[in-house]
């Protein structure tokens, strides 16, 4: 059976459960090609019964999988990595067709996901625990990391391959089984990945995919067999996921929204800063949780020069379908999202910001029905404006003017989100002060997109993260395992001991 069925001439994308392709055809939703605006497929939206079937499959696979040696789990990840590289072009084309991002951007996304898979290949080292000999007379103590059981991931549309790989590789090598609920807007990559895991030798039921909407999400949040849940998306949904899932006794990491600021100091290399900001603001059409959406220019002269450089570079930006060579920015994901971003731009005009570059009327020849919006650049933005307060998630960059680094940092610290921030400067003292004190979880110095590499962990501060542990890296090993500490004693010499009533301590030897 194939997960993609034909109904009335339209391809239907189903689910992957227990090693089999499953279709739950009661409800479906269109999947669009954002570059053309045409419906390319329909995705099946899982009913609660289908979600329950996936959790049941994961639960059934758990006992055998947790007993599997970490080295065996790692070897499956090694094979999975090879298959991802073998099929990289195919997966990137699938991402571009459903999301709209350029092929190069899709390949870059996939590579960052592969780096997490490579980190997960170190499972024997990551899970070896800690040992202390002779903590008391003939007493040894050690800690072990045990899997939780069935865990789940709910992922967004903007990185349909990378964000799931922030979650399931480490969850799986830690001995858990996994249910993934990807975005229903671009579900193809998740199913392609599921097939590669099966080809790599992952046992049936260890990794399952259910496509769906809020009905599927809520079923995962309340199922008592799901022990932990990872989420990436908007802050309102992240908060709902965190509150609901924790109320049902689950461990949760829920990554929410962002409003990432870039501070440009008077001594910065403005040419390099402008180039970096163009990519960070308009790459993937701004649909990145680490996109730079606010530039804080320190000083009027810096602001004037920087705005001119940004406008000049925007004029040369190549916009079109992601599959066309040379294109630097593709369409937005849906027409509804494009309309939302346009409305936000219009609110900026109404509130008094200066729209230096207006991309609202962009037309891509041959793709007039695509969900395109050109790059927009605002100057003289103030903190009270909607374009400053909200996460726009589109190709809109705002410039705020301040007089000092202290004012720039105060803006960042006062915002409800604390995902990422960066500074462009040649001054080491200014950079050190910024990295030490700015209220954000991921910080860059002359790096516009300070996304941590796989050996570190990804997560923001304030209302950008609900939960105590971040995604991937060392935090993920802690999130997907439960610590058990064992203290063991083998009295020798046939000595018969009396009862001890004082609380045992290392000093007393008890």
Active site members: 289
Rounded CA separation 305/311 (Å): 10
Give the DSSP per-residue string, 127-196: T--EEEEEEETTEEEEEEEEE-SEEEEE--SS-TTHHHHHHHHHHHHTT-EEEEE--TTS-HHHHHHHHH
Instruction: Take residue 413 and report the two structure tokens written for it.
Output: 């610290």
Q: Which residue has the tokens 């993609």?
A: 4
Q: State both tokens at 402.
A: 């301040």
Cα–Cα distance list, 256 to 245, 282, 297, 421 (Å) = 15, 20, 26, 15
Can you spell out the DSSP letters for 257-304? ---EEEEE-TTS-HHHHHHHHHHHHHGGGG--TT-EEEEEEESHHHHH
Sign for the pseudo-dihedral over CA of 232, 233, 239, 241:
negative
Distances from the Cα of 342 to the Cα of 21, 322, 339, angstroms: 39, 21, 5
């Amino acid at each position: 059976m194939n997960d993609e069925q034909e109904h009335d001439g339209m391809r239907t994308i189903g689910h992957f459960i227990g090693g089999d392709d499953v279709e739950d055809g009661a409800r479906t939703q269109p999947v669009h090609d954002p570059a053309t605006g045409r419906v390319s497929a329909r995705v099946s939206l899982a009913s609660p019964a289908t979600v329950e079937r996936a959790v049941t499959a994961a639960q059934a696979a758990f006992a055998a999988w947790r007993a599997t040696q970490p080295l065996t789990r790692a070897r499956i990840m090694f094979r999975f990595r090879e298959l991802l590289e073998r099929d990289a072009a195919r997966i990137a084309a699938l991402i571009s067709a459903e999301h709209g991002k350029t092929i190069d951007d899709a390949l870059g996304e996939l590579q960052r996901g592969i780096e997490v898979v490579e980190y997960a290949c170190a499972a024997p080292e990551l899970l070896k625990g800690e040992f202390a000999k002779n903590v008391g007379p003939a007493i040894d103590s050690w800690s072990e990391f045990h899997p939780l059981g069935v865990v789940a991931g709910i992922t967004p549309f903007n990185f349909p391959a990378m964000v799931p790989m922030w979650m399931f590789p480490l969850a799986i090598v830690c001995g858990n089984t996994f249910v993934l609920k990807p975005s229903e807007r671009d579900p193809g990559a998740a199913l392609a990945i599921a097939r590669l895991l099966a080809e790599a030798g992952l046992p049936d039921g260890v990794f399952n995919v259910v496509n769906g909407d809020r009905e599927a999400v809520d079923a995962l949040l309340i199922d008592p067999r799901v022990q932990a849940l990872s989420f990436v998306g908007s802050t309102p949904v992240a908060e709902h996921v965190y509150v609901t899932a924790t109320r049902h006794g689950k461990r949760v990491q829920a990554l929410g929204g962002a409003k990432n600021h870039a501070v440009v100091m008077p001594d910065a290399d403005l040419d390099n800063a402008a180039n970096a900001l163009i990519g960070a603001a308009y790459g993937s059409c701004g649909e990145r949780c680490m996109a730079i959406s606010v530039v804080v220019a320190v000083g009027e002269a810096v602001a004037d020069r920087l705005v001119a450089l940004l406008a000049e570079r925007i004029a040369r930006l190549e916009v079109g379908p992601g599959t066309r060579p040379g294109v630097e920015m593709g369409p937005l994901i849906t027409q509804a999202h494009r309309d939302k971003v346009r409305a936000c731009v219009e609110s900026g005009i109404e509130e008094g910001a200066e729209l230096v570059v207006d991309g609202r009327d962009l037309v891509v020849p041959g793709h007039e029905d695509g969900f395109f919006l050109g790059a927009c650049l605002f100057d003289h933005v103030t903190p009270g404006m909607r374009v400053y307060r909200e996460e726009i998630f589109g190709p809109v960059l705002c410039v705020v003017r301040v007089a000092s680094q202290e004012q720039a940092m105060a803006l960042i610290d006062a915002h409800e989100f604390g995902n990422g921030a960066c500074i462009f400067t040649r001054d080491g003292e200014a950079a050190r002060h910024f990295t030490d004190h700015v209220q954000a979880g991921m910080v860059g110095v002359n790096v516009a997109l300070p996304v941590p590499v796989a050996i570190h962990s990804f997560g923001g501060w304030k209302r950008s993260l609900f939960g105590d542990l971040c995604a991937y890296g060392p935090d993920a090993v802690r999130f997907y395992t439960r610590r058990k500490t064992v203290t063991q004693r083998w009295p020798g010499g046939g000595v018969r001991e009396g009862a001890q009533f004082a609380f045992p301590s290392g000093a007393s030897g008890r």
